[in-house]
């Protein structure tokens, strides 16, 4: 009977330890972020990222990517705790090369995504791809990078296509304005 109690106590200790290490910090960071203000500038930047994702959706004919883009724009269009938080992420990660930094995080047991503030220095189009990547962690089939990497490659090609079209349109508008 003592061995059963011992095993039970060990299992309870493991579950409580895992909760304290993995779940509790994610929720505590969300509670902290909720108390740090309205984040207007971050919301404006996120809005630019969402516009790029919507532009990508408008020019995409792949139903799978359309689903990913729809989910990303619907789920991650608001700055706030348990939606999109801009918060420093720890780095470098022991699993990554030394010159890499973690710029996005999606913890499956806590709603929302966290983006590193260094992304605010990047173009909204690059950050939009990070948002789509993190959204794919919540999107079918939910687990790992085996389904994310091929989709991410297609999204990068689509993003570059949309950017090229925007540049071409802007150049044509500039030329038309010069002719007037």
What pLDDT digit, counting tens, does each position of 108-123 carry? 777 889 999 999 999 9
* pLDDT single digits (tens) 136-145: 998 887 777 8
Helix axes 63-75, 148-179, angle to 10 degrees: 80
Q: What is the CA angle 118-124-126, rounded to 5?
A: 75
- Please state, in angstroms and as integers, the Cα–Cα distance from residue 163 to each residue in 10, 89, 159, 160, 171, following that order: 55, 28, 6, 5, 12
Residue 46 has pLDDT above 90, yes or no: yes
Distance CA 137, CA 145 (A): 8
Banded pLDDT at 5 (limits 50, 70, 90): confident
What is the distance of C-alpha 112 from the center of its chain?
A: 8
Q: Give the per-residue pLDDT at 22.
A: 63
Provide the whole-model pTM: 0.82
């Amino acid at each position: 009977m003592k061995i059963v109690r011992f095993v039970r106590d060990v299992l309870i200790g493991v579950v409580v330890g895992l909760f304290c290490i993995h779940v509790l910090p994610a929720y505590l960071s969300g509670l902290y972020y909720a108390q740090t203000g309205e984040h207007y500038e971050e919301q404006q930047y996120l809005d630019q990222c969402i516009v790029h994702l919507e532009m990508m959706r408008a020019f995409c004919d792949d139903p799978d990517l359309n689903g990913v883009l729809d989910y990303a724009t619907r789920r991650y269009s608001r700055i706030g705790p348990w939606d999109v938080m801009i918060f420093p992420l720890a780095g470098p990660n022991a699993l990554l090369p030394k010159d890499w930094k973690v710029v996005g995080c999606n913890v499956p047991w806590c709603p929302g995504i966290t983006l590193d503030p260094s992304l605010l220095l990047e173009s909204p189009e690059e950050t939009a791809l990070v948002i789509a990547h993190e959204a794919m962690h919540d999107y079918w089939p939910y687990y790992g990078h085996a389904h994310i990497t091929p989709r991410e490659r297609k999204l990068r090609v689509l993003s570059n296509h949309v950017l090229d079209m925007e540049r071409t349109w802007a150049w044509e508008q500039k030329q038309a304005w010069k002719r007037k």
